[in-house]
């Protein structure tokens, strides 16, 4: 799960003008748009937990097919790299989980 901020010129109904806005994304979904002139924030309703589970599900789902693809391409290479990869996977997942948890926590406030 990734939080991204982007700046864009948008029309603000409050200022009644085109002003710089900060757009905040989680993954590829917009969660809020803030006008930099009047600081008015427009929150976009996103089911943050649903996003999170969807991402985890997709990640787990795409892993086996990717491994199969590599297995087909080069068996020797695959076998040589497999133990390292399997060892680093739980750590990576855990790190992503912690990061996602932080985003979810901040989002709820």
- Binding status of residue 14 toward Zn ion by CB under 5 A: yes
Torsions phi, psi for 4 (to 5 deg): -130, 140
**Per CB under 5 A, 12 contacts Zn ion:** yes
Annotate each residue in 22-41 with x if it binds Zn ion (CB under 5 A) or - if it does not, as one string. Answer: -------------x-xx---
In this complex, which beta carbon is closest to Zn ion, that of residue 2 or of residue 14? 14
Nearer to Zn ion, 27 or 42 (CB): 42
> 30-42 burial string, b = 16+ CB within 10 Å, else e?
ebbbbbeeeeeee
* Geometric angle at alpha carbon 17, from 13 and 19, rounded to 5°: 100
Interacting residue ranges for Zn ion, rule: CB under 5 A: 12, 14-15, 35, 37-38
């Amino acid at each position: 799960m990734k939080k991204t901020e982007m700046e864009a010129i948008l029309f603000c109904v409050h200022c009644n003008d085109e002003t710089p806005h900060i757009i905040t994304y989680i993954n590829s979904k917009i969660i809020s748009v803030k006008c930099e002139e009047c600081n008015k924030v427009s929150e976009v309703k996103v089911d943050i937990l649903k996003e999170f589970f969807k991402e985890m599900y997709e990640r787990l789902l795409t892993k086996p097919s990717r491994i199969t693809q590599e297995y087909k391409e080069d068996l020797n290479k695959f076998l040589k790299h497999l133990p390292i990869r399997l060892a680093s996977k739980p750590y990576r997942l855990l790190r992503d989980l912690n990061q996602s948890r932080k985003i979810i926590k901040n989002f709820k406030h």
